[in-house]
Structures are given as C-alpha cells and as structure tokens.
C-alpha cells in the first residue's frame, strides 16, 4: 500500500468517527457529506473511479441534501403547530 492510500484510509476513519459522534442532526448531515466525499476519494485512490463518481453523487450530494430538506420540513411543521396552538 502506498502512503497516499494510508492517508486516505485514516481520513475516512476520522470522518466516519466524526459522523457518529456528532449529535446535532444538521451538523451530522454536513459531516456525513464530508464522509461521503472522503469515501469517493478512497475509491478513486484504490482504482475504482466509476464507484467514486457514484459515491460523490449519492453520499456526498443526494443523501445530505435529502436529510437537510427533511430537517427543514420538520422545523416548518413544528413552527406551524406552535402557531396553531397559540
């Protein structure tokens, strides 16, 4: 294994650990996006550029975007319920 592969494996391990340890959902979605980006770099370094491109689209863009949209919808619903109760 090369030094670049070692570095990328450490970055992926740190990003995965950070994703699990962050407790606030908004920040966790952002950290999960960075984790997906780190995984895509890992796949590219290990010689799977097609998987890396798929990982960028799915894990680094689509999933965090869906989570952020869901969190925004939940916050909007909470505000509407508070307005109706007042």
Integer-rounded Cα Rg, in Å, for the chain is 17
Q: What is the pTM of this model?
A: 0.83
Compute CA distances 53 → 20, 59, 67, 80, whole Å.
24, 10, 20, 39
60-74 residue pLDDT tens: 889 989 999 999 999
Two tokens, residue 10 = 């450490």
6-32 residue pLDDT tens: 999 999 999 999 999 999 998 999 999
Helices 25-45, 3-21: axis angle to 10 degrees equals 160
């Amino acid at each position: 294994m090369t030094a670049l592969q070692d570095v990328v494996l450490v970055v992926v391990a740190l990003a995965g650990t950070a994703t699990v340890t962050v407790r606030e959902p908004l920040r966790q979605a952002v950290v999960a996006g960075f984790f997906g980006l780190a995984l895509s770099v890992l796949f590219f370094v290990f010689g799977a550029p097609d998987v890396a491109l798929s990982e960028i689209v799915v894990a680094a863009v689509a999933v965090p975007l869906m989570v952020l949209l869901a969190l925004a919808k939940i916050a909007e619903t909470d505000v509407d319920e508070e307005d109706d109760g007042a």
